Amino acid sequence: MFLLVCQVVFGKTFVFCQENKKETLTRLGFRLPEGRSSFNVPFELIDNLIVVKIVINRTLPLKFIIDTGVRTSILTEKTFTDLLNISYSRTIKIPVPGSEKIVLAFVAPNITLDMSGLIGKGHALLVLEHDLLELKNILGHNVQGILGYELFSRFIIEINYQKKVMTLYEPSAFYKKNYDKKKKFYRIPITVEDTKPYFITTILHQDGTTTQAKLMLDTGASHAILLDVESSDEISLPENRIFSHLGRGLGGDIKGYIGRVSSVSFADFQFNDVITTYPEKQFYGQGTIDTHRNGTMGGGIFSRFRMVFDFVEGYVYFKKNNKYRRPFEYNMSGVVIKAKGLYLNTFEIIDVRENSTAEEAGIKEGDTIVRINGSLTAEMELGEVHSILNSRPNKVLRLDLYRDGKTIQRKFKLERII
């Protein structure tokens, strides 16, 4: 469900500069340990997102998403910086897309970040006043921040989705490895605009038309492809589509359409029948105007590769992994769930898709799932619940639901509707 939070809310965010001399600036930010030309960082792969452990000011361990789509590091819960008695240098008002609402955020300067022993000094964190993004509830894990351009501007970064290891290289050391020749990666040119990477892909739509689409490569998005219908006359909603809950932004839930494109192609790679997201206009638009992009490519495709991002020379490298041919599927249950409670093991239904088998069975928004086919959900993680609810078409599920102070039972079949 974490599809659009980082892209939509922070696609056009803020950059904070240190007012220091040039020689001081060279000492700020992440640096490899002396004598090292590369550094490995293990990560968790959660809903196609790269999540790493970060220790703030050598005291507080948290989890951050690694995101090519954000410029400034973001902390989603002010409680943590308040706990460390961190002072704020300024207050920022962030407009919420699609509404007149304004959200307050604070700039916390001179922060030290420790990522598995890789130390970064002098960082500025953009700290939200309230946890409006609800990352931990959406992902089912205690994720509290987002980290992006600070890493990609300094290092060439290899992401091994299969082994769940991110390797940071000094550029000169990386170029000696000749990844495209020695390790048989495909090297594709990218442009880096407003700190974000873009490349051109070929989209074959279901009506037979083709678009040369400019897409942002967004590791902070779990979807495969997102297309903005307002960005080009060549892009339109597919005939076979559903209206659905897509994710969450500062203003609340994000809605839009889900469909498929016939194929997505770049270099020697082609994916067929790709699940594609089409957000409603009010949630997506300013970024397409600023960069003339048509949408984004996310972890739903990236997780099928071993990748390297080279912002320095302007390339991205791809090499297939064993998930390359995995089919693209989308929510067969018709329900959207978030994790709640201290241990994130209470699962509340926050949306039921219209005309889905779940709706026909009488499942309602606000129900809490207690058991699935007899198994207690309190012993599961959110990812496990998602896997069961999207396992295979025609599978019968029996849910025990808590509603209005009592437990009720509902039964329905999973179905592939797009």
Task: Express each pLDDT in 199-250 by its tens digit.
Answer: 999 999 999 999 999 999 999 999 999 999 999 999 999 999 999 988 888 7
Instruction: Give me the half-sphere count of Cα atoms (radius 13 Å) on the Cβ side of residue 266.
Output: 25
Kindly give, in sequence order, each residue whose CB lies less than 8 Å from that of residue 342, ignoring residues fewer than 6 positions away: none
Residue of 359, 283, 355, 354 lying closest to 97 (CA atoms) = 283
Average pLDDT rounded to a whole number, residues 87-106: 86
Residue 96 has pLDDT above 60, yes or no: yes
As a whole number of angstroms, the distance between CA 245 and CA 254 comes to 6
256 forms beta bridges with 244, 279
Contact 217, 297 (CB under 8 A): yes
Q: What pLDDT, on a 0 to 100 scale, did the predictor assign at position 19? A: 40
Q: What pLDDT is recorded for position 318? A: 97
pLDDT score recorded for residue 239: 94
Q: Mind listing the pLDDT tens digit for each residue in 24-70?
A: 344 578 999 999 999 999 999 999 999 999 999 999 999 999 999 99
**What is the torsion angle, in degrees rounded to the nearest 10, for the CA atoms of residue 380, residue 383, residue 388 and residue 394?**
160
Residue range 118-129, pLDDT digits in tens: 999 999 999 999
Mean pLDDT for the stretch of residues 75-85: 94
- By DSSP bridging, strand 186-189 and strand 191-193 are unpaired
**pLDDT above 90: residue 6:** no
Query: Does the pLDDT of residue 251 top 90, yes or no?
Result: no
Whether the CB-CB separation of 279 and 226 falls below 8 Å is answered with yes
Residue 183 confidence (pLDDT)? 76
Distance, in Å, from the CA atom of 318 to the CA atom of 229, rounded to the nearest integer, reads 27
More confident residue, 100 or 259: 259
Residue 302 token pair: 């990236």
Dist. CA 315–CA 309, nearest whole Å: 7
Give me the CATH code for the 5-171 domain, please. 2.40.70.10
Q: First CA to last CA across the chain, in angstroms?
A: 17
pLDDT of residue 27: 57
pLDDT at 86: 95
Task: Report pLDDT digits (tens) over 336-393.
Answer: 999 999 999 999 999 999 999 999 999 999 999 999 999 999 999 999 999 999 989 9
Three-class SS of 148-180: CHHHHCCCEEEEECCCCEEEEECHHHHHCCCHH
Check residue 290 and give its pLDDT: 58
Residue 184: per-residue pLDDT? 86
Phi–psi pair at 308, nearest 5 degrees: -135, 130
Higher per-residue pLDDT: 206 or 183 = 206
% of residues, the chain, pLDDT over 90: 79
Rounded Cα distance between 62 and 293, Å, is 33
- On the question of a common fold for 5-171 and 335-413, the answer reads no
Indicate the pLDDT class of residue 162, thresholds 50, 70 and 90: very high
Q: Would the CA dihedral through 7, 8, 9, 10 be positive or negative?
A: positive
CATH topology for 335-413 is Pdz3 Domain (2.30.42)
173 token code pair? 């050391």
Furthest CA-CA distance within the chain: 66
Q: What is the mean predicted confidence (pLDDT) over 144-163?
A: 96
Q: For the beta carbon of residue 234, count every other beta carbon within 10 angstroms.
A: 15
Mean pLDDT for the chain overall: 90
pLDDT band, very low/low/confident/very high, at 283 (cuts 50, 70, 90): low
Does residue 306 carry a pLDDT above 80?
Answer: yes
Q: From CA 120, how far away is CA 28, in angstroms rounded?
A: 7
Residue 4 has pLDDT above 50, yes or no: no
The residue extents of the domains of the chain are 5-171, 188-301, 335-413
Q: How confident is the model over 269-282, as a mean pLDDT?
A: 93
Q: Measured between alpha carbons, how far is 189 from 170 in angstroms, rounded to an integer?
A: 19
- Report, as an integer, the average pLDDT of 4-19: 44
Across 105-119, 244-258, 275-289, the highest mean pLDDT is recorded for 105-119
Q: How far apart are CA 278 and CA 291, in angstroms?
A: 18
- Phi then psi for residue 404, to 5 deg, are 55, 40
pLDDT mean over 175-189: 83
Fold of 188-301: Cathepsin D, subunit A; domain 1 (2.40.70)
pLDDT value at residue 25: 41
